[in-house]
Amino acid sequence: MQNVNWVALAIFVLFFVVITSSGFAAAKWRKGDLDLLHEWGLGGRRFGAVITWLLLGGDLYTAYTFIAVPALVFGAGAVGFFAVPLAIVAYPIFFLVFPRIWYFCRKHNYITAGDFVRGRFGNRWLALAVTITGIVATMPYLALQLVGLQVVIGALGISGTGFAADLPLIIAFAILAAFTYSSGLRAPASIAIVKDALIYITAFAAVVVILIEFGGFSEIFAAVPSPKLLLATPGPGTTGAYSAYPTLALGSALALFLYPHSLTGILSARSGRAVRQNAALLPGYSLVLGLLALLGFFAIAAGVADLPEYADGFKQFGNNFAVPALFLHAFPSWFVGIAFAAIGIGALVPAAIMSIAVANLYTRNIHREFINRTPTDRQEAQTAKWMSLAVKFGALAFIMFVPTKYAIYLQLLGGIWIIQTLPAVMLGAFTSWFNGWALLVGWAAGTVVGTVMAVAVNLTPTCPLQVAGYVFPGYTALYAVILNVTLVIFLTPVFNALKARRTPIDAIVTSDYHV
């Protein structure tokens, strides 16, 4: 504990106290009966455009994003910048698809993607597949939020051995678990305001301060080794980075809103109009994301990897230490405290929403569907609250006992798995033409093939697809979901002919659509 940065630590703790009290106080905010699942798990569907915007921002721009995106740029250069086109194409998709889903869910009191698929295609097994995919894909993502927290706690100079080393993380998570249990989705919504303010301040201050220190972008980019500066020009017979880069961006953008916590944020909106306003407002975050990505280059220019005082951090956290090291290097202690608080709170907000989303899924689409078919409202909300605790402590145990690289591998596979719900959820927003069994076969095929492809390339994101002697390296998830959609389209008439089609329970017709 001899290297503790006390000023930074004091400010960091201060912000944690502030958000903890705000998290507990949130139970009384726009008060509702927290014994009802939609009050606890969706904030009573009462959030306007601004709160939904903050909540979705908290969802999508996580601590892991702030640590990992610059770390990727720091380590791999230009290709790490794919997060920016990802954000650019994500919002038009959001704009077209999610106001519709919001509308269906509001009308039929759906709380999860599982509910939506169940109602849309009348197939409980498909709903189960979507539910399990959502839960399994979210868990490693939730665990990675803890890595973000771990990195900043380590960078504050707090270290120890064995149980003591994990103690700060356990305390932070226990607090998070407590206020999520008592306030539900209102807790992360109230904290998201603080989180966003801190993130904006940190990102802009970092860029301005470091630019002044270096003299400008030309000095920074001059320090970047030329292979990292641009995408590698593809060799003969392959599309190289020219297909890897855009498929990573597009595939990740499609997967982004299929994660259960995104839908939880969206469904908490009070009106379809608020959802649409969000799609128009959310690009406001993308510029910050771009600036954060550039911090990877700033870290290269600052030469933090070669400074002896950060050697331990890089040894322990790898490239993920690039941004914390840069902040420690370039900022006074008090501002380091603010910046690290931004990252730390940036971990808690999405972690809370993710645990709520998983709890909602379990309660609605597993417990209610397969275990207790007729719960009272109170029982249902209580199941979800307990589940949210179980999920968080599961993630904590995972991070404490399993090496971080496995969480990263699982997160990578999670992206491949979650995108397989695209035909049922995203395309399901536009049509109920698909047969539920065809969707289930497509889902299974996409999941298996995607997983096999990812394992075949040693769990890296892109897979070199060979067609007629030509190589198209691309994001595995996107290739797998193309297979999935193709199968669904060809198998739908087949299953319909087998009379396996069931009438959708709610018989949603397109004339229902009003936003």
Q: Which of 511, 508, 489, 492 is nearest to 500 (CA)?
A: 492
Return the range that interacts with another protein (CB under 8 A); candidates 156-164, 200-208, 224-232, 438-446. Answer: 224-232
Per CB under 8 A, the list member of 294, 338, 399, 480 interacting with another protein is 294
Give the whole-angstrom CA distance, residue 64 versus residue 415: 15
Residue 269: beta bridge partners? 47
Q: Which of 440, 365, 465 is nearest to 135 (CA)?
A: 365
Pick 100 or 392: Cβ nearer another protein: 100
Measure the CA dihedral 151/155/159/164, to 10°: -40
Return the range that interacts with another protein (CB under 8 A); candidates 58-66, 86-94, 122-130, 187-195. Answer: 86-94
Q: Which residue has the tokens 């000023």?
A: 7
Q: Which residue has the tokens 């900022």?
A: 331
Return the range that interacts with another protein (CB under 8 A); candidates 20-28, 230-238, 333-341, 364-372. Answer: 230-238
Pick 277 or 484: Cβ nearer another protein: 277
In angstroms, give the least distance from the CB of 223 to another protein. 12
- Residue 95 touching another protein (CB under 8 A): yes
N-to-C CA span, the chain: 56
Q: Which residue has the tokens 């989180």?
A: 195
Helix (H) or strand (E) holding 408: helix 404-418
In angstroms, give the least distance from the CB of 120 to another protein. 15
Give the whole-angstrom CA distance, residue 193 versus residue 210: 26
Q: Other C-beta atoms within 10 Å of 396: how many?
A: 22
Per CB under 8 A, the list member of 200, 217, 406, 409 interacting with another protein is 217
- Residue 250 touching another protein (CB under 8 A): yes
Pick 92 or 332: Cβ nearer another protein: 92
Per CB under 8 A, the list member of 24, 29, 200, 242 interacting with another protein is 242
- Both structure tokens of 223: 């320090």
| Residue 388 CB partners (closer than 8 Å, separation 6+) | 177, 180, 181, 355, 356, 358, 359
Asked if residues 105 and 111 have their Cβ atoms less than 8 Å apart, the reply is yes
Pick 126 or 279: Cβ nearer another protein: 279
Return the range that interacts with another protein (CB under 8 A); candidates 85-93, 202-210, 338-346, 363-371. Answer: 85-93
Asked if residues 367 and 275 have their Cβ atoms less than 8 Å apart, the reply is no
- Residue 92 touching another protein (CB under 8 A): yes
Give the whole-angstrom CA distance, residue 365 versus residue 127: 7
In angstroms, give the least distance from the CB of 163 to another protein. 44
Q: Which of 30, 86, 7 is nearest to 282 (CA)?
A: 86
In angstroms, give the least distance from the CB of 208 to another protein. 13
Q: Which of 430, 441, 431, 452 is nearest to 485 (CA)?
A: 441
- Residue 273 touching another protein (CB under 8 A): yes
- Residue 229 touching another protein (CB under 8 A): yes
Return the range that interacts with another protein (CB under 8 A); candidates 211-219, 363-371, 410-418, 499-507. Answer: 211-219
Asked if residues 256 and 414 have their Cβ atoms less than 8 Å apart, the reply is no
Per CB under 8 A, the list member of 66, 98, 121, 245 interacting with another protein is 245
- Residue 200 touching another protein (CB under 8 A): no
In angstroms, give the least distance from the CB of 487 to another protein. 25
- Residue 231 touching another protein (CB under 8 A): yes
Kindly state the number of chain residues that form the binding site for another protein, as judged by CB under 8 A.
Answer: 44
Pick 90 or 187: Cβ nearer another protein: 90
Pick 81 or 331: Cβ nearer another protein: 81
User: What 3 state SS string does 243-262 have?
Assistant: HHHHHHHHHHHHHHCCCHHH
Per CB under 8 A, the list member of 216, 237, 332, 493 interacting with another protein is 216
Give the whole-angstrom CA distance, residue 64 versus residue 346: 8
Per CB under 8 A, the list member of 18, 25, 76, 85 interacting with another protein is 85
With 0-12 / 13-18 / 19 or more C-beta atoms within 10 angstroms meaning exposed / middle / buried, residue 281 is middle
- Residue 277 touching another protein (CB under 8 A): yes
Give the whole-angstrom CA distance, residue 90 versus residue 226: 30
Return the range that interacts with another protein (CB under 8 A); candidates 90-98, 155-163, 173-181, 304-312. Answer: 90-98
In angstroms, give the least distance from the CB of 485 to another protein. 17
Half-sphere exposure of 425 (CA within 13 A, CB side): 34
- Residue 219 touching another protein (CB under 8 A): yes
Return the range that interacts with another protein (CB under 8 A); candidates 80-88, 119-127, 163-171, 472-480. Answer: 80-88
- Residue 287 touching another protein (CB under 8 A): yes
- Residue 128 touching another protein (CB under 8 A): no
- Residue 233 touching another protein (CB under 8 A): yes
Pick 37 or 248: Cβ nearer another protein: 248
Asked if residues 189 and 47 have their Cβ atoms less than 8 Å apart, the reply is yes
Per CB under 8 A, the list member of 6, 125, 204, 221 interacting with another protein is 221
Q: Is 499 helix (H, G, I), strand (E, B) or coil?
A: coil
With 0-12 / 13-18 / 19 or more C-beta atoms within 10 angstroms meaning exposed / middle / buried, residue 176 is buried
Residue numbers at the binding site for another protein (CB under 8 A) = 78, 81, 84-85, 87-89, 91-92, 95-96, 100, 216-221, 229-231, 233, 241-242, 245-246, 249-250, 273, 276-277, 279-280, 283-284, 286-287, 290, 294, 510-511, 513-515
